[in-house]
Amino acid sequence: MAIALSRYDPSKSYKNQKAFDCGHEVINSFVARTLKQQTQRNLSVAYVLTDDDDSFIGFCTLMAASIGRADLEATNPPSLPLAVPVTKLAMLGVANTHKGKGYGKALLLQAIDVMVRTAESVGSYGLYLEADDGAYDFYLKLSFVPLKPRQTPNPTPMFLHVDTARQAIS
């Protein structure tokens, strides 16, 4: 079985998209009810993992965002504007049936690559996300810096600077 990573096409029907289950109710609901509309309206861009029969295996969504300079204090930044442009990794999920195969990391590397290319065109200081407690260690291992102490059970804001990201994908 070959797995393909491509840009999500909202005009296409993906097998099992409505039944997608990554074990996270909010993400599952987003995939079933909101992903298509959000990408059609250019509110985010999504990348999807599919298998040979176009079954929806995993995805991530990216959007333009900004965060406050004060939110980046944990990274010891140089002088920054009050609002810092970033790329936000809004959602990432892999179906329970495909976990443990490196697909989450593949999706994250895609997100990092897109952010780096975006930074070269329109400017992005880095990749920002809000890590759920269960994903916190995953992002930490991949060089993300927590912007606040771990927020158990709430998501913890984390950040990957564009220069660190360039090193990660080279």
pLDDT class for 158, splitting at 50, 70, 90?
very high
Query: Measuring CA to CA, which residue among 77, 65, 67, 71 is closest to residue 148?
Result: 71
Confidence check: pLDDT of 124 > 90: yes
Alpha-carbon distance 14 to 19, whole Å? 10
CA-CA distance, 18 to 5, in Å (whole number)?
19
Q: What is the pLDDT, as a whole number, of residue 166?
A: 92
Q: Where are the domains of the chain?
A: 4-169
- Given CATH 3.90.1150.10, say whether it is the number of domain 4-169: no
Phi and psi torsions of 106, nearest 5° = -60, -40
pTM above 0.85, yes or no: yes
Instruction: Read off the pLDDT band of 23 (50, 70, 90).
Output: very high
pLDDT in tens, 4-17: 999 999 999 999 99
Chain mean position to CA 31: 14
DSSP one-letter code for 13 = P
Gap between the Cα atoms of 5 and 101, Å rounded: 14
* pLDDT tens track for 52-71: 999 999 999 999 999 999 99
pLDDT of 55 reads 95
